């Protein structure tokens, strides 16, 4: 029994488009040709792959199983095409960057400006990520470099990705300016145990930033009774500015919102910021150059 990549592509097209005619159109072949290929495939495997009904064409359980493999084969073929393109130099001036918002604002602009000055024809793209994502997109070949962060826990990466440490980003507590602790001098820290009665604006439960905060608080016998959950440090600081919560914000994300005071936090918490790159960077020289520029800037 032999199954070809072309047959898998056909199964994938049927699953995506829901009919033989639309699958044929997407693949640039005729509907009769699709029917013939499906019939030949079903003879080869000894079982039905598609079911035809009033609502169109659907995959059988076997067809769905083959569609899963078809997705993997399609991804591998795309990576192979990318590898060939890189080898031939087609994308020598392309750089696909991903970064979480505060890194995109605080770290990327200066480095990207310098890169474009050196390479005026560079083909740049920047994608918005959540703070701990990105390495998997580099592993899949969808990004050339990703700025990512860890909150006290190692980042899981694939073998074809490497992490380069950029900097340590300390976390501060942001207080409403009428908070009982805001009158302290700016160089005096606030202990997390002193915030047990406050409403907290912090990350979504289960996310790394929130987990780091909860572990630190538990060590001091503190648990947030109520909180505002947000993935945006800008939103957290806006809530603090309105006087309804205290927030825990990394230095790179501080916006010095009106009617707020910023203090060091005890215990000292931080996030580590990394650049994720392919383990072999011969085909992405610009990613290595961007890494050097980032280290010369804010991360120097």
**What pLDDT is recorded for position 88?**
57
Hey, which bits of 177-259 come out as E strands?
A: 190-191, 200-202, 227-229, 246-250
- The residue-averaged pLDDT of 214-237 equals 88
Helix pair 5-17, 31-45: axis angle to 10 deg: 120
Looking only at Cα atoms, what is the longest distance across the chain? 80
Residue range 79-114, pLDDT digits in tens? 777 777 666 566 678 899 999 999 999 999 999 999
Q: Would you call 44 helix, strand, or coil by DSSP? A: helix
- Is residue 218's pLDDT more than 50? yes
Equal fold, 94-168+273-296 vs 169-269: yes
Q: Would you call 233 helix, strand, or coil by DSSP? A: helix
Domain 169-269, CATH class in plain words: alpha beta
Residue range 106-126, pLDDT digits in tens? 999 999 999 999 999 898 999
The residues near 133 (Cβ < 8 Å, ≥ 6 apart) are 98, 100, 146, 148
Fold of 94-168+273-296: D-Maltodextrin-Binding Protein; domain 2 (3.40.190)
Residue range 154-190, pLDDT digits in tens? 888 888 999 999 999 999 999 999 999 998 888 899 9
Q: Let me know: does 155 contact 135? Beta carbons within 8 Å.
A: yes
- For the chain, the structural domain boundaries read 5-87, 94-168+273-296, 169-269
Domain 5-87 annotated CATH 2.40.30.10 = no
Of residues 131 and 148, the one with the higher pLDDT is 148
| Distance from C-alpha of 53 to C-alpha of 31, rounded to nearest angstrom | 16
| Distance from C-alpha of 133 to C-alpha of 147, rounded to nearest angstrom | 9
């Amino acid at each position: 029994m032999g199954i070809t990549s072309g047959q898998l592509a056909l199964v994938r097209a049927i699953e995506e488009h829901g009919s033989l005619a639309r699958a044929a159109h997407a693949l640039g072949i005729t509907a009769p040709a699709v029917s013939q290929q499906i019939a030949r495939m079903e003879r080869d495997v000894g079982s039905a792959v598609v079911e035809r009904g009033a609502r169109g064409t659907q995959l059988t359980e076997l067809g769905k199983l083959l569609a899963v493999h078809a997705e993997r084969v399609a991804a591998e073929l795309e990576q192979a095409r990318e590898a060939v393109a890189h080898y031939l130099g087609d994308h020598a001036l392309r750089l696909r960057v991903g970064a979480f918002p505060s890194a995109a604002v605080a770290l990327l602009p200066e480095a990207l400006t310098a890169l474009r000055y050196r390479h005026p024809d560079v083909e740049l793209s920047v994608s918005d990520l959540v703070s701990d994502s990105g390495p998997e997109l580099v592993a899949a070949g969808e990004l050339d470099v990703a700025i990512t962060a860890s909150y006290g826990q190692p980042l899981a990466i694939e073998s074809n990705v490497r992490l380069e440490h950029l900097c340590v980003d300390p976390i501060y507590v942001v207080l409403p300016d009428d908070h009982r602790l805001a009158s302290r001098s700016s160089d005096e820290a606030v202990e997390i145990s002193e915030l047990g009665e406050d409403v907290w604006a912090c990350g979504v439960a289960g996310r790394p930033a929130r987990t780091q905060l909860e572990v630190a608080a538990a060590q001091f016998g503190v648990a947030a009774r109520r909180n505002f959950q947000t993935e945006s440090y800008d939103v957290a600081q806006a809530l603090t500015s309105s006087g309804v919560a205290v927030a825990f914000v990394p230095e790179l994300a501080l916006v010095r919102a009106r009617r707020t005071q910023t203090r060091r936090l005890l215990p000292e918490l931080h996030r580590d910021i990394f650049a994720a790159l392919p383990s072999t960077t011969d085909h992405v020289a610009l990613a290595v150059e961007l890494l050097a520029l980032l280290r010369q800037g804010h991360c120097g």
